Amino acid sequence: MYVYILKRVLAAIPVMGFVALFVFLLLRLTPGDPAAIIAGDTATPEQLEAIRTSLGLNDPLAVQFFNWISQLLRGDFGTSILSGKPVIELIADRMEPTISLALTTIILSVLIAVPLGVIAAWKQGTLIDRFVMLLSVLGFSVPVFVIGYLMISLFSMQLGWFPVQGFRPIGDGVGDFFHRIALPTFTLTLLYIALIARITRTSMLEILGDDYVRTARAKGLPETRVLMHHALRNCSVPIITVIGIGFALIISGVVVTESVFNLPGLGRLTVDAVLSRDYPVIQAVILLASLIYVVINLLIDIAYVLLDPRIRYA
Amino acid sequence: MNFTTSLKSTSTGLRNALRSTLFGVTMAGFALMSTAAEAQQTLRVVMHSDLRVLDPILTTAYMSRNHGYMIFDTLYALDADLVPQPQMVDSHTVSDDGLVYTFTLREGLMFHDGAPVTGEDVAASIARWGTRDGMGQVLMSFVDSMAQGATPNEFVINLKQPYGLVIDSLAKPSSNVPFIMPKRLAETPSTEPIPEQIGSGPFKWSDAEFQPGVRAVYEKNTDYVPRSEAASAAAGGKVANMDRVEWVVMADDQTALNALLAGEIDYWEQPPADLLPILSANPDLTVKNLNALGFQTIMRPNTLNAPMDDPRIRNAAIASVNQKDVLDALVGTPELYNICGAMFVCDTPLATNVGSETLTAGNGIEKAKALLAEAGYDGTPIVIMHPTDVASLRSQPVVVAQAMRDAGFVVDLQAMDWQTLVGKRASQASIADGGWHMFVTNWVGADVFNPLVNNMVNGKGKDGGWFGWPDVPQIEELRTAYATSQSLDEQKALAEQIQTIAFEEGMYAPIGQYFVPTAWSNSLSGVLDGPAPFFWNISKE
């Protein structure tokens, strides 16, 4: 197992290297000039050249790439071309809202969706099952921004229970933190409930017809134990996979939800950086997103082993 | 126990209703607790964009200009009647030959680091501004030397020849504004950002709280000594009544609308036109246009690429356009736009409609067809760059393209994001190599209201001209004459000549003037009119 983890970590290095090279080249080949963006409307060609030179954009691509990689290896993500702030600082500022939203959404979704999926499978074909499936279809079909606006309209504008927008760090008060993260969490949770409940139901349906489930019931085990201990555990691999990928997706940025609720997360940082051609920021957030996917996939694989002893890694 | 039983046992309607009510009350309590303590102290504002570049001389971005007005001060400033008034300056004298301007600074001017403002700081600041700004560059072409005067609070400009716009230049209201900064910052090359945000203005920069794309925070400069006159646009006493001003970035207009309606923000600089009816209908809000000059939306041809290198083709394109169609698509509400053919903006001393008859009357299609026939237009597609990601810029290219098609042009409307356009428009390449024929952009009225600040009537061509690069030496002679003119009547006459030639040459076309109202809570008072949003003089109940 440890050897497997080590191999996976080592295998991630060339993956990250490829991502770094790809992102770097893609950005340089995309139209747009950060110097022109900085200088504004009245800059002369000479001034633009001077700004490009001061930003290092006139260096050969190979030199720019080497400089960037050298910085990265020293743990330096560089500075934002536009604001002059260290990129690591910009990312760190955006991590708490993003991780907070990811955790609250995933925890709430799992707490609701897994039991719903189990019940739907257990009561297949009944009204409960149909209700869960309807909820699932709705969760998939209604765009997140529509759900968000409806939530704001009802809970903020009409009832006044929650603020319309914004984020407060948990360090500023747990109550205020949950007060502000609640609506975006509920909004994304609807989507994730739809996803996780459907996967749970499908996986459970496959398992519930197996012989060992019939045997467990024949032994007289309580239904809850049959469902939760025997069936659910054995169908947890696809559920864990979906949860893991879903978590990575939120961490990488859910820009629509962040915009609707004005959450200063990584999604908005990425979009803003792309629109303003802030190369160091774009490169860093994409690398970070790739790293998150690699790590979460590794954690999912490890979870497989813990949940299903039949799985072995060489 | 099975799950159904379990669920039934916990789903009592009454209990849930009670829980919901208690939860709602608790949440509302949180909201009140979190806002009440700060509401009297902090002004929360949503600006038209986010603040990225902190150096208002390095860039012409309006957000950087607005930031500059918060923390820096100016020697002179335009009042609401567009008349320059002294701001940091207490008095000035001009020698009899008009070559020596001596300025005396007001007593008590201090930078945020505690250092007094001196003539050396002023000289360095004006010199840096003069390397970047168009009007500053013209001023510098007349300046022989600048230096601190006999005392630290004096500043002297020695001219090579008399120049009538020295004070007007120092009172320039919009990008780039000649802000005064400490000498050590002003000595930063104008192609690099200044390393600190130290000014002498009514607010101080809170660097620790700055999150690009999230918020910018300003704190009251308690050491600032405002002028005694009442505030008037950028001039007069800059009395900071608020302890803090927070610029909160909201990427989504609907979110900003909800936040203003819910009282989470106090002021929204530029709400989109389609949301104005909702804001206007709310009795707790004020919706008003603060910028009397508004914005000028323009179409700019590239004179380097055929067939737009022919003035007749450029004029055919201009003649095909009807301002009303453009403004209906862009704004929609007639109360918020003005059909205006004046290159130097309507309702200004230099306003004239000469040369713009077809634009304002919308009857130029036949003229356009005739010009195309005369020029022998061969159907070469006209590349119009179309920024689709900026609401205030995405409708005009579509209208212009259709008008040109109606006149007989073949148009290649190329969709792109604004930053791609910004990069691409700097290219003088041929169409085959990715060049362009035309783009549309918008200007704040104060940035185009005279021939020196209006970049589109710059006739320097490829060497020093603005994107599109028309080479019109006659215009340059007239602009120089304008710079040295000594009376408003003379300036008016020159401006009219410049506009006439600019239209004849098809240098550009103003395709409408429009206004973007600001919305704010009625708990605010003292909101000032002006070409930029100002946050001094504002009080909050």
For residue B66, what are its two tokens?
């607005």
Please state the rounded mean pLDDT for residues B304-319. 97
Cβ(A276)–Cβ(B390) under 8 Å?
Answer: no
Q: Kind of pairing, strands B518-521 and B267-268? A: antiparallel
Residues 6+ apart with CB under 8 A from B30: A175, A176, A179
- Yes or no, beta carbons of B258 and A157 under 8 Å apart: yes
Beta strands of B436-532 (E only): which ranges? 438-444, 509-514, 518-521, 524-525
In whole angstroms, what is the distance from residue B87 CA to residue B106 CA?
Answer: 8
Look at residue B261 and tell me whether its pLDDT is greater than 80.
yes
**Rounded to whole angstroms, what are the CA distances from B214 to A97, A164, A266, A282, B225?**
12, 16, 11, 17, 31
Q: CB atoms < 10 A from the CB of B148, how many?
A: 18
Over the stretch B41-94, which tens digit does the pLDDT of each residue have? 899 999 998 898 899 999 888 999 999 999 999 999 999 998 999 999 999 999
List the beta bridge partners of residue B470. none
| Residues of chain B found within 8 Å of residue A277, distances taken between Cβ atoms | 419, 423
Chain A (32-71) residues lying within 8 Å, Cβ to Cβ, of chain B:
32-33, 36-45, 47-48, 50-51, 54
Name residue, tokens 């237009």: B377
In whole angstroms, what is the distance from residue B401 CA to residue B320 CA?
Answer: 10
**Rounded to whole angstroms, what are the CA distances from A155 to A183, A184, A222, A224, A258?**
8, 12, 41, 36, 18
Q: SS3 of A115, please? A: helix
Range name among A72-76, B26-30, B252-256, B320-324 with the lowest pLDDT average: B26-30
List the beta bridge partners of residue B29. none
| Residue of B191, B296, B304, B439 best to disrupt the A interface, most CBs of A under 10 A | B191
Cβ(B221)–Cβ(B240) under 8 Å?
Answer: yes
Peptide bond preceding A31 in cis form (omega within 30 of 0): no
Helix (H) or strand (E) holding A132: helix A127-141
**Rounded to whole angstroms, what are the CA distances from B531 to A110, B23, B508?**
53, 46, 23
Please state the rounded mean pLDDT for residues A148-161. 95
Over the stretch B463-520, which tens digit does the pLDDT of each residue have? 888 899 999 999 999 999 998 888 899 999 999 999 999 999 999 999 999 999 999 9
Contact with chain A for residue B1, Cβ under 8 A = yes
pTM: 0.85
Q: Which residue type sits at B53?
A: V
What is the Cα gyration radius of chain A? 24
pLDDT the model gives residue A10: 87
Average pLDDT value for chain A:
90
Contact with chain A for residue B206, Cβ under 8 A = no
In 3D space, the residue among B64, B152, B65, B79 whose CA is nearest the CA of residue B110 turns out to be: B152
Which of A29-38, A292-301, B73-82 has maximum average pLDDT?
A: B73-82
**DSSP tag of B519:** E
In whole angstroms, what is the distance from residue A15 CA to residue A128 CA?
Answer: 45
Helix (H) or strand (E) holding A135: helix A127-141
pLDDT the model gives residue A314: 59
Half-sphere exposure of B315 (CA within 13 A, CB side): 21
Contact with chain A for residue B21, Cβ under 8 A = no
How confident is residue A307, by pLDDT bands cut at 50, 70 and 90?
confident
Cβ(B363)–Cβ(B416) under 8 Å?
Answer: no
In whole angstroms, what is the distance from residue B450 CA to residue B492 CA?
Answer: 10
Question: Residue B389: which of A80, A90, A275 has the nearest Cβ?
Answer: A275
- Yes or no, beta carbons of B254 and A149 under 8 Å apart: yes
Name residue, tokens 């001596």: B102
In whole angstroms, what is the distance from residue A149 CA to residue B514 CA?
Answer: 30
Q: What is the ipTM of this complex?
A: 0.85
Which of A224-233, A298-307, B106-115 has maximum average pLDDT?
A: B106-115
Q: CB atoms < 10 A from the CB of A27, how many?
A: 19
Question: Residue B59: which of A40, A149, A163 has the nearest Cβ?
Answer: A40
For residue B161, what are its two tokens?
């020849």
DSSP string, B151-173: STTEEEEEESS--TTHHHHHT--
Nearest chain A residue to B254 by CA: give it. Answer: A260
Look at residue B2 and tell me whether its pLDDT is greater than 50.
no
| Residues of chain B found within 8 Å of residue A47, distances taken between Cβ atoms | 132, 190-191
In whole angstroms, what is the distance from residue A20 CA to residue A289 CA?
Answer: 11
Nearest chain B residue to A258 by CA: give it. Answer: B251
Sheet with B295-301, strands from edge to edge, namely: B337-338, B509-514, B295-301, B438-444, B382-387, B411-416
